[in-house]
Amino acid sequence: MRRHPMKRLSLLLLACLLAGPASAQDLFIQGGTVLTVTNGTLERADILIRDGKIARVGQGLRAPRGVRTIDATGLYVMPGIIDAHSHIAISSVNEATNPITAEVAVGDVIDPYDIAIYRALAGGVTTSHVMHGSANVIGGQCETIKHRWGEKNPEALKMEGAPRTIKFALGENPTRVHGRGNNVPPATRMGVEMVIRDAFNEAQRYMDAWAQYEARLAAGERVAPPPYSERLEVLADILRGEIIVHCHSYRADEILMLMRVFEDFGIDRLVFQHVNEGFKVAPELADFGAGASVFSDWWAYKFEVYYSTAYNAAILTRNGVTTSINSDSAELNRHLYHEAAKTQKYGQLTDDEALALITINPARQLGIEDRVGSIEEGKEADLAIFNAHPLSIYAVPQMTIVDGVVRFDIHADPDDMRLNVPAEGDVETATLWSEEHAHRCMQGVDLLEFLGTR
Amino acid sequence: MHLLLTLLLTLGLMAAPATPGDGLPKARQGTFALTNARIVTVTHGVIENGTLIIRNDRIVALGTDVKIPPDAEVIDCAGLHIYPGLIDSGTQLGLAEIGSVAETRDYAELGELTPHVQALTAVNPNSVLIPVTRVNGVTTVLTEPSSGLLSGQAALINLHGYTPEQMLLAGREVMVLEFPTTGRRGRWDRRSDEDIKKAAEKAIKTLDETWERARLYARIDSAYQASPDKSRKPAYVPEMIAMLPVIRGTMPLMIKVDAARDIEKALEWVAKQQIENVIFSGVAEGWRVADQIAEAGIPCLVGPVLSIPTRESDRYDKAYANAALLKKAGVTIALRTGETENVRNLPYHAGFAAAYGLGTEEALRAVTIVPAQIFGVADEVGSLEVGKKANLFVTDGDPLETKTQVLHVFIDGYQIPMVSRHTRLYDEFLERNPGLVKHPGATPDPTPAGSDDR
Q: Is B211 helix (H, G, I), strand (E, B) or coil?
A: helix
CA dist B75 → A16, B40, B53, B419 (Å): 64, 17, 10, 18
pLDDT for B23 equals: 67
Task: Give the mean model confidence (pLDDT) for residues B302-327.
Answer: 96
- Domain of residue B227, CATH code: 3.20.20.140
Whether B452 has a pLDDT exceeding 60, the answer reads no
The closest of A336, A415, A353, A409 to A75, measured between CA atoms, is A409
Chain A environment of B304 (Cβ under 8 Å) = 434
* Domain end call among B381, B410, B438: B381
Q: Does B302 lie in the same domain as B278?
A: yes
Considering Cα of B251, then B252, then B256, then B257, what sign does the dihedral take?
Answer: positive
Containing domain of residue B273, as a range?
86-381
The Cα B336–Cα B429 span in angstroms is 33
pLDDT for B82 equals: 98
The Cα A189–Cα A70 span in angstroms is 54
Considering CB atoms only, which of B102, B258, B450 is closest to A434?
A: B258
User: Which of the four pLDDT bands, split at 50, 70 and 90, describes residue B4?
Assistant: low
**Chain A interface, mutation test: which of B138, B346, B402, B426, most A Cβ atoms within 10 Å?**
B402
Chain B environment of A434 (Cβ under 8 Å) = 258, 282, 284, 304, 307, 338
The Cα A411–Cα A407 span in angstroms is 12
**CB–CB of B183 and A432 under 8 A?**
yes
Q: Does B266 lie in the same domain as B124?
A: yes
Q: Does B67 lie in the same domain as B213?
A: no
Which residues are B411's β-sheet partners? B414
Considering CB atoms only, which of A299, A314, A391 is closest to B341?
A: A299
Which residues are B301's β-sheet partners? B281, B334
Residue B292 belongs to a domain: yes
pLDDT in tens, A356-379: 999 999 999 999 999 999 999 999
Q: Does B47 lie in the same domain as B134?
A: no
Chain A environment of B188 (Cβ under 8 Å) = 438, 447
* Contact criterion met (CB below 8 Å) for B79 and B405: no
Chain B environment of A301 (Cβ under 8 Å) = 98-100, 341
Whether B427 has a pLDDT exceeding 90, the answer reads yes
- CA angle at B395 for the pair B392 and B399, rounded to the nearest 5°: 85
Considering CB atoms only, which of A300, A347, A433 is closest to B341?
A: A300
pLDDT in tens, B117-132: 999 999 999 999 999 9
pLDDT for B442 equals: 59
pLDDT for B194 equals: 87
**Chain A interface, mutation test: which of B193, B287, B308, most A Cβ atoms within 10 Å?**
B308
Q: Does B201 lie in the same domain as B184?
A: yes
* Contact criterion met (CB below 8 Å) for A271 and A326: no
- Maximal C-alpha separation, chain A: 85
Between residues B12 and A315, the one the model is more confident about:
A315
The gap from C-alpha B184 to its chain's centroid, in whole angstroms, comes to 25
pLDDT in tens, B270-284: 999 999 999 999 999
DSSP character at residue B232: P
Share of chain B above pLDDT 70, in %: 90
Q: Does B180 lie in the same domain as B158?
A: yes
Scan residues 278-337 of A and list those with Cβ closer than 8 Å to B: 279-280, 282-284, 286-287, 297-303, 306-311, 314-315, 318, 330-332, 334-335
pLDDT in tens, B165-199: 999 999 999 999 999 987 676 666 778 888 888 88
**Chain A interface, mutation test: which of B264, B312, B405, B420, most A Cβ atoms within 10 Å?**
B312
pLDDT for A420 equals: 85
- Domain of residue B405, CATH code: 2.30.40.10
The Cα A156–Cα A22 span in angstroms is 13
Residue B11 belongs to a domain: no
pLDDT for A308 equals: 97
| Complete DSSP assignment for A296-351 | SS--SSSGGGSS--TTHHHHHHHTT--EEE--SSTTGGGGHHHHHHHHHHSS---H
Q: Does B294 lie in the same domain as B184?
A: yes
Residue B10 belongs to a domain: no
Whether A454 has a pLDDT exceeding 50, the answer reads no
Residue B9 belongs to a domain: no
pLDDT in tens, A14-30: 444 444 443 369 999 99
* Contact criterion met (CB below 8 Å) for A367 and A87: no
Q: Is A32 helix (H, G, I), strand (E, B) or coil?
A: strand
The Cα B25–Cα A105 span in angstroms is 51
User: Which of the four pLDDT bands, split at 50, 70 and 90, describes residue B22?
Assistant: low
Q: Does B90 lie in the same domain as B61?
A: no
Q: Does B73 lie in the same domain as B92?
A: no
Residue B422 belongs to a domain: yes
Q: Does B368 lie in the same domain as B330?
A: yes
Residue B8 belongs to a domain: no
Task: Give the mean model confidence (pLDDT) for residues A77-106.
Answer: 97
pLDDT in tens, A129-166: 999 999 999 999 999 999 999 999 999 999 999 999 99
* Count of domains observed in chain B: 2
Residue B450 belongs to a domain: no
CA dist B94 → B132, B236, B367 (Å): 12, 30, 19
Q: Does B77 lie in the same domain as B59?
A: yes
CA dist B2 → A18, B6, B9, B15 (Å): 97, 6, 11, 20
- Residue positions counted in chain A: 454
Helix (H) or strand (E) holding B292: helix B290-296
Q: Does B81 lie in the same domain as B148?
A: no
Contact residues for A293 (Cβ-Cβ < 8 A; gap 6+): A84, A85, A246, A271, A272, A273, A274, A275, A323, A324, A325, A326, A362, A365
* Contact criterion met (CB below 8 Å) for B391 and B381: yes
Considering Cα of A62, then A66, then A71, then A76, what sign does the dihedral take?
Answer: negative
ipTM of the complex: 0.92
Task: Give the mean model confidence (pLDDT) for residues B336-358.
Answer: 98
Q: Which domains does chain A possess? A: 1-79+374-411 (2.30.40.10), 81-169+231-372+431-446 (3.20.20.140)
What is the per-residue burial (b if ≥16 Cβ within 10 Å, else e) of A253-284? ebbbbbbebbbbbbbebbbbbbbbbbbbbbbb
Secondary structure tally for chain A: helices H, strands E = 14, 16
The Cα A441–Cα A432 span in angstroms is 19
Residue B162 belongs to a domain: yes
Q: What is the mean pLDDT of chain B?
A: 92
**CB–CB of B285 and A430 under 8 A?**
yes
Task: Give the mean model confidence (pLDDT) for residues B2-7.
Answer: 52
Whether A444 has a pLDDT exceeding 90, the answer reads no
pLDDT in tens, B380-415: 999 999 999 999 999 999 999 999 999 999 999 999
